[in-house]
Amino acid sequence: MNAILNKVPLAEPALFRLRSLVPLAAADIDAIESAALERREVSPRCEIQVEGSSIKERLILLSGWAFHARVLRDGRRQILGYVLPGDLLGNCYHRNAVAATSVIAVTPLALCRAPTPEPDGNLSEAFAVAAATDAHYLYRHITRLGRLSAFERIADWLLEIRERLASSGLTNGHEFALPLTQELIADTLGLTNVHVNRTLQTMRRDGLIELRGGRVLILDELALNRLVDPCPLQISR
């Protein structure tokens, strides 16, 4: 793994992820790898996109965690979603596009410019599928916040994060890194840090997860899934 990373620093998770969306042409992969050679580093807590600012370029997150957020006047903050390795930023819709959210680094980040899609490759398609995937997770987040209990929210969200990290090859079986404070989790799930703490303790006590030192281990995926599995059909009234 380290050998690969040395060949083209940090491009692996992003490539793994983008190739999981659409099969990429060799030229696409080359384009991403060479873009990754000119990467920028960003420190934790740095605001890498400001809500309302104009979007100039499309970026790929190579490593680290960031989040989209909105802040209310009185200081309440809602985290709208996380940006994980392989995700796109400023996947803009039109010229003069404006950032709809602020994006803030949680950990140190490595970013690079997304290559301009060539007509003979599949990058354009990959970016479109990535946008559709993002929308899917937004819908899921709305459902989570509107209709799930605190316990269910955390369960569903942990499974979602695991799924997304797995698509970048960043899980180790049922274990993965979770470099977030409980306060960030609370701001994600519409809860308070105190209640997140208590709910996580219940999950540990029930043998559903392990969580220490910024890593999670899903012990009973079935039980977690059972809580929140959505029903795709069957519209009541």
Partner DNA sequence: CGATCGTTTGACAAGGGTCAAAATGCGTGG
Partner DNA sequence: CCACGCATTTTGACCCTTGTCAAACGATCG
Residues that bind DNA (CB under 7 A): 149-151, 181-183, 190-195, 197-201, 213, 237
Specify whether the CB–CB gap between 112 and 62 falls below 8 A. Answer: yes
Question: Min. distance of Cβ 87 from its own copies in angstroms?
Answer: 15
Q: At its nearest, how many Å lie between its own copies and the CB of residue 37?
A: 28
Of 109, 127, 117, 99, nearest in space to 45 by CA: 109
In the bound state with DNA, the residue whose beta carbon lies nearer, of 100 and 142, is: 142
Instruction: Please count the other Cβ atoms lying within 10 Å of the Cβ belonging to residue 52.
Output: 10
Count residues near its own copies (CB under 8 A).
54
When CB distances are held under 5 to 8 angstroms depending on the partner's kind, the choice from its own copies, DNA, none that residue 119 binds is: none
228 binds its own copies (CB under 8 A): yes
Q: Which of 61, 65, 66, 68 binds its own copies (CB under 8 A)?
A: 68
3-state secondary structure of 124: helix
- Angstrom distance (rounded) from CA 1 to CA 120: 30
CB of 88 to its own copies, least distance (A): 12
Phi/psi class of residue 214: alpha, beta or left (left: φ > 0; alpha: ψ in -120 to 50)? left
Let me know: does 59 contact 89? Beta carbons within 8 Å.
yes
Helices 193-205 and 182-189 meet at what angle, rounded to 10?
100
Q: Which of 5, 37, 50, 194 binds its own copies (CB under 8 A)?
A: 50
**Binding-site partner at residue 69 among its own copies, DNA, none, CB < 5 to 8 Å by type:** its own copies
Query: Could you tell me the end-to-end alpha-carbon distance of the chain, in angstroms, rounded to an integer?
Result: 53
Stated length of the chain: 237
**88 vs 106, which CB is nearer to DNA?**
106
20: partner contacted, choices its own copies, DNA, none (Cβ within 5-8 A by kind)? none
* Rounded Cα gap, residues 128 and 79, in angstroms: 23
Please state the separation of Cα 151 from the chain's center in Å.
21
Q: Which positions from 189 through 208 interact with its own copies, judged by CB under 8 A? A: 189-190
Region near its own copies per CB under 8 A, out of 57-65, 133-141, 194-202, 217-225? 133-141
Q: Which is nearer to DNA, 38 or 74 (CB)?
A: 74
Question: Which three-class secondary structure state does DSSP give residue 212?
Answer: strand
Q: Name the residues that contact its own copies, by CB under 8 A.
A: 45, 47, 50-52, 68-73, 75-78, 80, 93-95, 97, 100-102, 104, 125, 128-129, 131-132, 135-136, 138-143, 145-147, 187-190, 228-237
